[in-house]
Amino acid sequence: MSSEQRTHPRTVTQEEIIYFSNLQRDYEIERIHYIGTLINISKGGVGMRVNLPHYINEELWFEGLEGISKAQPGLVRWITTDSYLENYEMGIEFFHTTPAD
């Protein structure tokens, strides 16, 4: 029995990317940028390797993804740590701000 829950086929990749989160400070929103490596991508989300931990349901934004013309928001759905490599792998599920096509 598989625990696979993907609904969209994924493409394996090895691509560095800059992504960001928004931090509310008083009445202003500040973008915090990070560098990560995409390890897979699909219409529904991405798998990434990163150096800093994030938390479940944290909102992250991605720009410059192939086939996506504007910033794409997503939520961290899972995260694991690899203490040997001193990094984290996480899965991000995209959510769509426009009606599904």
pLDDT in tens, 18-76: 999 998 888 898 999 999 999 999 888 999 999 998 999 999 999 877 766 678 899 99
Q: Is the pTM of this model over 0.85?
A: no
Domain presence at residue 5: no
pLDDT for 29? 86
CA gap 96, 7 in Å, rounded: 15
Say how many domains are in the chain: 1
Which domain covers residue 27, as residue numbers? 11-94
Cβ proximity of 4 and 35 under 8 Å: no
CATH code where residue 36 lies: 2.40.10.220
Query: Is 6 within the bounds of a domain?
Result: no
